[in-house]
Structure 1
Amino acid sequence: MESFSLKGRTAFVTGGNTGIGRAIVQLFAAQGAKVGISHIGDAAGAQALADELAASGAEAAVTECDVTDANAVARLNAWSREHLGPVDILVNAAGISGETPFVDLSIDEWDRMMAVNLRGTFLVTKQFFADMIAQKYGRVINIASQLAYKGTYDMSHYCASKAGVVGFTRALSYEGAPHGVTVNAIAPGPVETAMLASFTNEWRAMKFAQLPAGRFGETGEIAPTALLLASETGGAYFIGQTLSPNGGDVML
């Protein structure tokens, strides 16, 4: 596991207080990284996670940030420099979901989905990317979805936003790779999180029936993919890739 050690590295995970982001934070910390965590409206939960990590000997710091707000994201970068120092690994895990038939989909719903999932990924990456280029090292990991490839009922806005994340990842990788900065994405299948629990029983049953694995995934089954991409040696030759631990929902 020495190839996957993050000792001496600093990571920042947006949406790191819950779900897949939380599992990534916990694994990165266990592998020796100093970790920054952003949340929105969950100060107590995020701080409890940081305290849990500190009790195990890890170093973590938390802050609140609305990733759709350019000024808030600029403040996030300043906060990160003060409390963490240079960031080597960025994970864009903040995201939202939802199911609405297209004929009922409002412009506000569409715009909100794009603002969090796609604009947020852009804004946060833009704040950290230049520093990674300057230091000649970096790992950017964007959380997409297998639905970027497959699509599904009642989620055109979500699928489009995650497809945008995949395209952004591929394009930016060309600009980062010559400077030692890799840009990749993870496209998980359905994972047991609060987000998945918010879907209707009908939608969950439909999705469950499509999975060759015969079950939904767990957050701890997604985090190791992030560790692979974040590691210095294991992730070095992944450029512009989207890895998809998805229970067979999409086979690329």
Structure 2
Amino acid sequence: MSATKVDNEITGRLALITGASGGIGAACARDLALHGVRLALTYSTNQSAVQTLQEELQSRFAGLETSTHQCDIAQEGDLKRLFEEVKAKHGHHPDILFANAGYGKRIPHILDLTLAEWDYTLTCNLRSAFILTQLALPHMLAQTWGRIIYNSSIAAGGTSINGCHYSASKAGIQGLSKNLAAKMGRSGVTFNDIAPAMITGTGMIPSEEDLMGTPGDPRGIPVGRSGRPEECANVVTMVCRTGYMTGQSLLISGGLK
């Protein structure tokens, strides 16, 4: 039996990054741009931030093809429109999908959770990942090459400064990723998730001050500090460039379990 062709080249590929207006999404855009990846970047409400990022990238990388798109990940219609816009702008659907955008209102105790909050969290984090995957796969399967990366969390294993709603949504993402990796291993498309923990410089955790006195207090992290969005971006790029890796959940936690 002949070996499957190895193709880990990402230069010239098109990446769709949801939630690219700041934090991990913006850091991933910068790192992929370094490797010559074309970019479709989404935002929900912060249009100015993603436009500033686009201007920065176009200034740093002459000729880099980028686009920005407004999208509410809780709305199926918005996600479908997003893919139509990406194809109209770039000529095809993405080769790389980083399903990064998510939602997590910090409500630690189950008795303080409303059903509406539970449903909205699962809609934003898990349902949107499912829809994005369905939309992205036909193009990837047709060319027998694709990379799908989900932004999960250490919370998927139960460790969290947030509540059970958030943990359940992130555990669902990991299950989705591992199932697809096992079933579609020979398709040329890989499925992995990154599982960050205590990453500051993000909308959820702006600074280490926001972690003091919580289970994510930097004083209790083995490396003694919080993580940075750029460190998550390093891992996302590595996954894009490593077709032999699929079905993995990559914990970026400074040693937290």
Tell me, in whole angstroms, the C-alpha distance in 1 between the residues paired with 2:104 and 2:163.
Answer: 8
Residue 82 (structure 2) pairs with residue 76 (structure 1):
yes
1:67 alignment partner, one of 73, 80, 85: 73
After TM superposition, list the pairs within 5 Å mapping 1:1-252 onto structure 2.
6-56=10-60, 57=62, 58-86=64-92, 87-100=94-107, 101-152=109-160, 154-192=162-200, 193-197=202-206, 201=210, 205-208=214-217, 209-231=219-241, 235-250=242-257
Q: Which moved more, 1:202-211 or 1:99-108?
A: 202-211
User: CA offset at residue 93 of structure 1?
Assistant: 0.3
| 2:161–2:214 Cα contact (<8 Å) kept | no
Aligned residues: 245
Which letter maps to 1:194?
G
Equivalent residue of 2:106, what SS?
coil
Call closer, same or farther: CA 1:204–1:73 in 2, change over 3 Å.
farther
Deviations 1:159-186 (A, max 9, x none): 1100000000001113432110001110
Tell me, in whole angstroms, the C-alpha distance in 1 between the residues paired with 2:149 and 2:158.
Answer: 21
In structure 1, runs of 5+ residues without a counterpart are none
Equivalent residue of 2:102, what SS?
coil
Which letter maps to 1:23?
A
Normalising by structure 1, we get a TM-score of 0.91
| 1:98–1:199 Cα contact (<8 Å) kept | no
Tell me, in whole angstroms, the C-alpha distance in 2 between the residues paired with 1:154 and 1:16.
Answer: 22
Call closer, same or farther: CA 1:32–1:5 in 2, change over 3 Å.
farther
Deviations 1:208-227 (A, max 9, x none): 24311111101111111000
In structure 2, runs of 5+ residues without a counterpart are 1-6
Higher normalized helix content (fraction of residues):
1
User: CA offset at residue 151 of structure 1?
Assistant: 2.7
Equivalent residue of 1:196, what SS?
coil
Tell me, in whole angstroms, the C-alpha distance in 2 between the residues paired with 1:201 and 1:195.
Answer: 9
Backbone CA RMSD of aligned residues: 1.9
Normalising by structure 2, we get a TM-score of 0.89
Tell me, in whole angstroms, the C-alpha distance in 2 between the residues paired with 1:137 and 1:197.
Answer: 36
User: CA offset at residue 230 of structure 1?
Assistant: 0.8
Call closer, same or farther: CA 1:148–1:212 in 2, change over 3 Å.
same
Which letter maps to 2:173?
V
User: Identity of aligned pairs, percent?
Assistant: 31
Call closer, same or farther: CA 1:223–1:202 in 2, change over 3 Å.
closer
